[in-house]
Structure 1
Amino acid sequence: SAELTFVGPENPLFGDLPSRAPDLRVWMSHGDSVQVPPPGFVVLARSANCPVAAMGDPRRDLYGVQFHPEVGHTHRGAEILRRFAVEVCRCTPDWTPDTFIEQATAAIRAQVGREQVVCGLSGGVDSSVTATLVHRAVGDQQICIFVNTGLLRQGESEQVVRTFRGRGMQLVPVDASEEFIGALEGITDPERKRRVIGELFIRVFEREAKKLGEVRFLAQGTLYPDVIESRGPERQAAARIKTHHNVGGLPQGMRFELIEPLRYLFKDETRVVGERLGLPEEIVWRQPFPGPGLAVRIVGEVTWERLETLRAADAILLEELRAADLLRQVTQQSFAVLLPVRSVGVMGDERTYQHVVAIRAVTTEDFMTADWARLDYELLARISNRIVNEVRGVNRVVYDITSKPPATIEWE
């Protein structure tokens, strides 16, 4: 982060911010910087290490900033973006969850017509909101397919089936765990893991959909951060950070046409839409879980033994955070990671050489940036003690204190 100092003339981008917040804390993460503004532009703000942190040409209504106004760690960032949209671009601020739901359902009806849709349902908020929107639009023309990849958290498969069969949607559960674990054998590169999982995921869908007859559409819970980090087709000039299985991991010969009603929403907006659709709180506020599942929380090769070790450690972490009422307000995403190293320890007066588990817990508003959660030391000690004593083959627990950026929230 950096402290922004306003230096330029009055302008519609910042309005009266210079008088109300003369030294604004903003989020900056970059290697390049503008040293001298181009002709017609004037410097509007600077920081200690960036001489042109914001610049503008008010006559032509052109503005540029070096910091990230869209993330929660930039103070008054939402106000700056609002001023840009309303005062500079003269947009009308009429987005509401109700208008979004109305427009999304109408668009889905127009796209689908009388065709059938299969929806990739994981039980997370993204796919749940997608499934509910599509169901509202086309009813029983949608069939939800839940694929158990074997890469889910403890008890998750049973919970998803139990929850969504009670909501009036057609649900087909598929146990493909042996296929996924077999396909991942010997793979350690995280990008290869994501691509293998993404392609197999679609192939399983195609196979199951064939049993349902001719199905043309696949509904997915893709969000805009997925598109940003994967360098989706509309962002080819951007750098790829990592491939999300529902964006960059899709095979080129994919047979389905995609329905992605949430593609330009962020997580917080998706939750608001989910609440307005009447989804239960445990679904709307469920912590995010990556599409490739525990495969990208096991650094290195994925095996059944390593999966069971991670599942047990992760369950302890979530149980302790839930008991402390920290899963929603304090930690927006929390999970365990199994590292590809072993460490020496002493248990029962004997030397051990066993696995290391890392704990990751972050606070964030938008998931584009995040800070590590300052958990109570006693809580961390209790989590560590339980994992070492209750999870076979683990003798060390470490806590990740890295923000995003420079790190991503997930390890892979």
Structure 2
Amino acid sequence: MQEKILILDFGSQFTQLIARRVRELNIYCEIHPFNHVPEVDSTVKGIILSGSPYSVRQDDAPNFDFKKFHKTLPLLGVCYGAQHIAHNNGGEVMKSSTREYGRANLHYIDQENKLFKNIPLESQVWMSHADTIARVGDDFEIIASTDTVKVAAYHIKGTETFGIQFHPEVTHSIDGKQLLQNFLVDICGCSQDWTPDSFIESTIANLKEKLGDDKVVLGLSGGVDSSVAAVLLHHAIGKNLHCIFVDNGLLRKDEYQSVLDSYQHMGLNIKGVDAKSRFYDALAGISDPEKKRKAIGRVFIEVFDDEAHQVTDVKWLGQGTIYPDVIESVSVKGPSATIKSHHNVGGLPDFMKLKVVEPLNTLFKDEVRRVGKALGIDPNILGRHPFPGPGLAIRILGDVTPEKVQILQEADAIYINNLRSYGVYDKVWQAGAIFLPVQSVGVMGDERTYENVICLRAVESLDGMTADWCHLPYDLLAKISNDIINNVKGINRVVYDISSKPPATIEWE
């Protein structure tokens, strides 16, 4: 059985980051809401309590009965988690006289304590809390302090329970990874054997057992997640996996054929479906972004259902769902408020009567790429920038027509090809061209023009939750602009988006 660490989420913005840091140490972990703790069996090696926007002094503060575990399992409370343990174990938590936020240094460390092994005095840490632990219980020992925070870390004597007021999961805590390794390896005894190869081996074995001789149908998008999910399923059930790749007419230039060819070279049992006209008809005259998304989702389901019914005796729907999607659906506060419908088409409706299999639903995006690399998947697919499920429809502001799609495809192809030839494509997290519903005056030759505007967008990000605009070289931007204006009929102006996320989103719609 796979050993694991449980991370209990009290609503912190950093909870997923804790999990990523644990996974980077080749240790499997799961995030669960503090009020939905799973059964703790022999595979659980320790528990981490996350931070929280709440104060332990509030009447409605999240509460977890840690005393059931803290004498039998290692516990690490981070920020709110540390305050929660102290508050409920003879200590006192008070509002800080000044908000403790940002960089600090540990001017006292008990270097005999296992949690701080190989962490030097004055190590920089990152604080982010409005409350502070003013007093600890009699059985606590203080094991780290800063100039302003006496109880920066503590240990409950006679147990493997620890609390820290800082965030080891953020890069600003210079020795945070070392501290987590000390807790996970030296204190919890984790073996660090959770690797892409071990994941592939166990996942394929589980899929074979789960699916047997059943048939699975899966919709491919050309993206990383669905591609890796397809290859894992292919290794498990071979030709019983039926992949469907729908051309919605909203893909990048020549992408449908090139991706289809890549999949066929990978040995997948795949069928390409040209459904461009159905999508264009459904989008005719629609300008509202949410209505465009819903129209695309509806037609995709109709097309997918038509094709799936041509495969007899299908029992399963394969999906490329990844771990952040799962976490979001069971988060402490429920799914985040809808800013806009998710870029990727979600689950299919109940009328299809299919069970769902999701081979990647325990992985983060970077882990999916590592698994894909271990599976030998084409680097062009693994390194592909994220691309929204509705495709170019949400990069065409306003109504969508085949003519606008063609213009945007040509401009986008010039943009992306220039990024590749300049050697910066892999340094950009996501890039794309946007067709603006704006016409401007220009001059070409001796004639005035009144034509369309293309906006270029390129961002740097780790996970898409936040992003900053890329500082592309001016000479590259100049060449892209000239190439687009000179070669794409209907465009006479190119602009560059220098907005970060937040407040702007990566996509314009």
Q: TM-score, normalised by structure 2?
A: 0.67
Distance in 2 between the 1:251 and 1:80 partners? 46
- Which residue, out of 296, 299, 303, partners 2:401? 303
Aligned to 1:362: 459
Tell me which residue corresponds to 2:124.
Answer: 22
Amino acid across the alignment from 1:22: Q
CA contact (8 A) 1:226 1:244 kept: no
CA shift at 1:337, angstroms?
1.4
CA–CA distance in 2 between the matches of 1:299 and 1:80?
A: 48
Q: Deviations over 1:252-278 (max 9, x none)?
A: 655332222122322221111111111
Judged with a 3 Å threshold, the aligned counterparts in structure 2 of structure 1 residues 216 and 384 are, in CA distance, closer, same or farther, namely same
Question: Which one of 200, 210, 233 corresponds to residue 299 of structure 2?
Answer: 200
CA-based RMSD: 3.6
SS in 1 for 2:425: coil
- Secondary structure, counterpart of 1:302 in structure 2: coil
Cα distance per residue 1:46-77 (max 9 Å; x no partner): 9xxxx99x977754545676x7946x798777
Of residues 342-351 and 178-187 in structure 1, the stretch that sits farther from structure 2 once superposed is: 342-351
Tell me which residue corresponds to 1:341: 438
Counterpart check, 1:264 vs 2:366: no
> Aligned equivalents of 1:77 and 1:360: distance in 2?
34
Higher radius of gyration, 1 or 2: 2
Structure 1 segment 53-92 matched on structure 2, within 5 A: 58-59=155-156, 60-61=161-162, 69=169, 91-92=190-191
3-state SS of the aligned residue for 1:216? strand
Provide the residue aligned with 1:153 in structure 2. 252
CA deviation profile, 1:162-214 (whole Å, cap 9, x unmatched): 22222222111111111122222333343443333234323322211111112
Q: Hey, what's the Cα distance between the residues in 1 that align with 2:136 and 2:283? A: 55
Native 8 Å contact 2:119 2:178 kept in 1: no
TM-superposed deviation, 1:351: 3.7
Q: TM-score, normalised by structure 1?
A: 0.81
- 1:167 aligns with one of 243, 247, 266: 266
Greater mean alpha carbon deviation, residues 171-180 or residues 188-197: 188-197
The answer as to whether partners of 1:354 and 1:395 remain within 8 angstroms in 2 is yes
2-side partners of 1:239 and 1:12: how far apart?
Answer: 38
Match of 1:325 in 2: 423
Aligned length: 395
Matched-pair contact (CA < 8 Å) for 1:69–1:80: no
**Equivalent residue in structure 1 for 2:504, among 398, 407, 410:** 407
Tell me how far 1:342 sits from its aligned partner: 2.8
Deviation at 1:100, TM superposition (A): 0.8
Residue in 1 that maps onto 2:25:
none
Give unpaired runs (5+ residues) of structure 2. 1-100
Structure 1 residues 16 and 174, CA, compared in 2 at 3 Å: closer, same or farther?
same
Counterpart of 1:223? 322
CA distance 1:191–1:39, change in 2 (3 Å): farther
State the alpha-carbon separation in 2 of the partners of residues 411 and 80 from structure 1.
40
Amino acid at match of 2:283: L
Alignment of 1:172-251 (within 5 A): 172-227=271-326, 231-232=328-329, 237-240=334-337, 241-244=339-342, 246=344, 248=346, 250-251=348-349
Any unmatched runs of 5+ in structure 1? none
Counterpart of 1:385 (choices 467, 477, 482) is 482
Greater relative contact order structure (CA < 8 Å, 6+ sep): 1
Percent same amino acid at aligned positions? Answer: 46
